[in-house]
Amino acid sequence: MAIGGSILSLGSLLRDIQQFEVPDFQRNYSWQAENVDAFLEDLVYAAKSNKSHFLGSTILMKKTSEPQDRSYQVIDGQQRLTTIFTVIAIIRDLVTELPVQEIQPNNVAGVPINVVSKANDYLFSDLQAGKARFVSNYLLRAFLNQYVFRHPSPDRPNIPARHQNATLAYRKAHKRIKSTLLEKMHELEGHGERLGFLDGLLNTLGTQFSILKIETADQTESYDILMTLNNRGLALGPSDLVKSLIMKHLTNGLTGEDLQLKNAELTEKWSEATDSIDDGDMNQFLRHYLLAIQGDTVRGKDIFKKIEDIVERSAEPSDLASARLLEDIVFRAGIYASLLKPSEIQDEHVRSSCTTLREVLDSYRILLLNVLDTRYALEQSERRELARLSEVLCLRWVLNGGNAQQLENLLQGISGLFRKTPLDYGAIRAALIKNIPADGPILTQFQSEVDSASLVRTVLHKINGRLNDPDTLIAYDPRRIHVEHIAPEGITNDWVEVLFPGKSKSEVSSEYASVVENWGNKTLLDRTINLKIKQKPFLIKRNGVEGFGGYGQAMLGITKDLTHLDDWTIDEIKRRNEWIADCFVKIWSVEPRVNELVNYSEYRKKMPD
């Protein structure tokens, strides 16, 4: 449990702690101009108005259990702390450039206050030894020590205009802080006023700014607390703490240059995983990864502890277990990336299944992380079949309104079969088939309205591909392909007369809304056409008019086929409901019957009027 939590003045916190150390797993400094400006505005306003300001919280973890050791790791709050120490260092530097550096006492008995010394008391726990009170992670550590925290002297180099990209955000922030303070100083007359302004900022930081200090005993607890807090810093997620754990075990015993080199190597390795996921959620990946490789339930807040357990329970030494875990995470992150961007999957059959699944749910990735893992001894035909059956199971489950958590549990359970030796493809296939919802309940779902545009688009796009156009020719692209309501969503008098002859809008508004959301009333249409014909009569939608096309000019055959119709009625919607249902159970079944599919115009010829 937490050792303690208390609200302190910022000055008390800075002077009480001997060293704040940012762990190497922490993300780089990333405050942008708006973050820096907001902080400086708060500081200047508090100084002018003599009002207090609450900074939020910081989570600190003691580095050792020694009572006299006052060194802490910064688990949360490094962005603000980096900025605070930078502001103090810049104030000190600006004071040294003034011809006067002491605030004179108000009476003869007082002692002059040296503003430079006041700033250095915050910056250094041991000024003579040059021991900075704030130690950044390895990305900024050397830069801050060389260019920022060192006391100004002819030997201290100026901050270079060009440097490593890792310091870019920080260099921009430093430049912005310095230029803002210089601008404020130039509004004042005389060196005494300018010195008083800078000293006032230091006093404000020390006495009027307060912060909630939360002290914890271990990283697991730190993460638990972190997830419940909301502040102006950029919060850590489970992936940051997992990275920390792995780096801790793999750098144990290293110091100096060896430690920095190993940290750089491991960070680069970890970046392989994060770069693979790209715009995806690394924390979601780690949760799905854990569900794919072990049998326990995993909530978001459990991720770090579950990873920690894997390392601690391993029969191998912690460094070897961590190295093996890191390799596996990086490898499976590559698989996960292909699930996020299935267009990159080489096998067209697997690509088709993954494209469909991506649009309707996320939990399929738990099972597919195993199915697509080439380290398992599966034939390519077997991978295709397992991907297809996963698609059948998941799509039917979603369409049937099945419980999402139960599906996730089911996919995790089937994933457990991959851990059995020898791998039994037949058992995995049988487990998928066993849990596929039957045709009866699925057919019933097509008799009612559907409100998920992504589900409609996914189902109709694949029906279209199986009937008319190969998936490779008409790509699934929600930006170009819209779900078109044939009878429009917005009720009009003309369409009420078509669907409910002799009735008014007020009489049928609820019934109309229900009818138009039926599967049979929906098709897919090019965005440019869809935007122009939204509420037009059916014949205009079908034929188009001068200046824009109609259904006959659509990219997809499923919509072109509607040009065989002369009108659009409730009975037509019901017939097309049945046709879509028939296509669905033939495509998404254990033994697909794609050769039996026919376009709607052919299907309706076989149906009694």
- Report residue 399 as tokens: 């369409």
Worst-scoring range by mean pLDDT, 25-29, 340-344, 459-463?
25-29
Q: Which residue has the higher pLDDT, 90 or 254?
A: 90
C-alpha distances out from residue 13 to 20, 210, 230, Å: 10, 9, 20
User: What is the reported pLDDT for 136?
Assistant: 93
Let me know: does 364 contact 395? Beta carbons within 8 Å: no
pLDDT over 70 for what percent of the chain?
A: 93
Domain boundaries along the sequence of the chain: 4-226, 238-437, 443-605
pLDDT in tens, 187-203: 998 888 999 999 999 99
First to last CA, the chain: 72
User: What is the reported pLDDT for 234?
Assistant: 42
Residue 314 φ/ψ, nearest 5 degrees: -70, 145
Cα distance between residue 322 and residue 431, in whole Å? 32
Residue with tokens 């702390």: 81
Residue with tokens 């700033």: 119
Answer whether 0.95 is exceeded by the pTM.
no
Let me know: does 381 contact 387? Beta carbons within 8 Å: no
| Three-class SS state of 45 | helix
Helices (H), 97-167: 115-123, 141-143
Residue with tokens 């912005």: 176
Identify residue 67 by its one-letter amino acid code.
P
User: What is the reported pLDDT for 227?
Assistant: 53
| CB neighbours of residue 520 within 10 Å | 23
Worst-scoring range by mean pLDDT, 128-132, 338-342, 499-503?
128-132
Asked if residue 473 has pLDDT above 70, the reply is no
| CB neighbours of residue 387 within 10 Å | 24
Asked if residue 25 has pLDDT above 80, the reply is no
Strand (E) positions, 31-156? 53-62, 71-76, 102-103, 113-114, 124-126, 131-132, 134-135
User: What is the reported pLDDT for 1?
Assistant: 43
User: What is the reported pLDDT for 3?
Assistant: 52
Worst-scoring range by mean pLDDT, 127-136, 218-227, 536-545?
218-227
pLDDT in tens, 282-324: 989 999 999 999 999 998 878 888 998 999 999 999 999 999 9
Instruction: Grade residue 108 by pLDDT with cuts at 50, 70 and 90.
Output: low
Cα distance between residue 22 and residue 7, in whole Å? 21
Cα distance between residue 270 and residue 331, in whole Å? 11
pLDDT over 90 for what percent of the chain?
A: 58
Let me know: does 472 contact 352? Beta carbons within 8 Å: no
pLDDT in tens, 543-587: 988 777 899 888 889 999 999 999 999 999 999 999 999 999 999
Cα distance between residue 54 and residue 436, in whole Å? 55
Instruction: Grade residue 529 by pLDDT with cuts at 50, 70 and 90.
Output: confident
Give the max Cα distance, the chain. Answer: 110
Q: What value does the mean pLDDT of the chain take?
A: 88
CA-wise closest residue to 339 among 354, 353, 328: 354
